[in-house]
Amino acid sequence: MDVAEIVLEVRDLEVKLKTAKGAVPLLEPVQLTLKKGQVFGLVGESGCGKTVTCNALMRLLHPRRMESSGSVRLNGRELSNLSEEDMRRIRGRDIGFIMQNPMNAFTPVYTIGSQFIETLRTHTKMSKAEAREQAIAALADMKLPDPAKLLKRYPFQLSGGMLQRVMIAVSMCLRPALVIADEPTTALDVVNQLNVLRELDRLRKEHGTSILLISHDLGVISQMADEVAVMQKGRIIEQADVYQLFDHPQHEYTRMLLNARPKLSLGH
């Protein structure tokens, strides 16, 4: 693989839970490599360690309860030894994050506009007016109607599907190299699921963003991912190209997940 193409390289990422009786492993050494513009699917049932993996990548684990080790490189830069301040700059600017429940991503007492503009200004030198213009353009790009009006709304005034698209607009606006999408469609109905997946796919194609897509749903993964890792009990048990994994699953657990998947189609 051409090194210049590698956006994220994770080596021996381990997480342990600190308990009174000693450290309990939550994540066995994980290896991941994401190329530019690639969608990497991380799949597995509830509690297998998907969220712990992405929190460890972003260094968002609770330091008193968990410890992690290993190497995480983003565009060649090692993240594991950066200061907390440098890491804060990277989150949001170089790594975008889309979470399962968009309502949790926004503070209920502030308008969408003030939160969007604040995020942009934290990471750039934009004036308020410039940030507002950028926010409007990003919302329009996500095909959200009347973006200027939308900025004046509060999160609870939007449907789940709209709010999820606002979150994608926020997380993609600064053109991060990597977006971590943790169950981005689980809280949505089927129509909104498809719309959100289509938008993610389009943004990846247009901007070459790499996406780490976390899901328990192999139907979603099959539509989006190029490469897939299957996780069980904190361990990656199988990893392959999406066609290889779906046509020739090696592990019994993968076969079980495949048999349980719902049918979705992006129409391509």
Ligand X SMILES: Nc1ncnc2c1ncn2[C@@H]1O[C@H](COP(=O)(O)OP(=O)(O)OP(=O)(O)O)[C@@H](O)[C@H]1O
Closer CB to ligand X, 11 or 18, in the complex: 18
CA dist., res. 263 & res. 186, Å (int): 14
Q: Report CA Rg, the chain.
A: 19
Q: CA dist 97 to 7, 101, 190, 215, Å?
A: 16, 12, 22, 14
- 3-state DSSP percent of the chain in helix, strand and coil, to 5: 40, 25, 30
| CB closer to ligand X out of 55 and 80 | 55
Q: Does 52 bind ligand X (CB under 6 A)?
A: yes
- Which residue lies nearer to ligand X by CB, 27 or 74? 27
| Residue carrying the six token digits 């210049």 | 4
Instruction: Please pick, from the candidates 2, 3, 46, 268, the single residue that binds ligand X as defined by CB under 6 A.
Output: 46
Subset of residues 62 to 91 that bind ligand X, contact rule: CB under 6 A: 62, 65
**CA pair distance 220, 240, nearest whole angstrom:** 16
All residues at 6 or more sequence positions from 52 whose CB lies less than 8 Å from its CB, including other chains: 15, 26, 27, 61, 66, 234
Q: Which is nearer to ligand X, 62 or 175 (CB)?
A: 62
Q: Check binding of 184 to ligand X (CB under 6 A).
A: no
The single residue among 10, 50, 195, 212 that binds ligand X, judged by CB under 6 A, is 50
Q: Which helix (H) or strand (E) holds 207?
A: helix 190-207
Instruction: Please name which of 181, 246, 226, 215 lies closest in space to residue 40, comparing C-alpha atoms.
Output: 226
- The DSSP output letter for 170 is H
49 binds ligand X (CB under 6 A): yes
Residues 191-220, one symbol each (x = binds ligand X by CB under 6 A, - = not), give -------------------------x----
Size of the site for ligand X (CB under 6 A): 13
Q: Which positions from 16 to 45 touch ligand X by CB under 6 A, shown as an x/- string?
A: -x--------x-----------------x-
Q: Applying CB under 6 A, which of residues 51, 80, 192, 244 lies at the interface with ligand X?
A: 51
Closer of 105 and 151 to ligand X (Cβ):
105
Residue ranges that bind ligand X, judged by CB under 6 A: 17, 26, 44, 46-52, 62, 65, 216
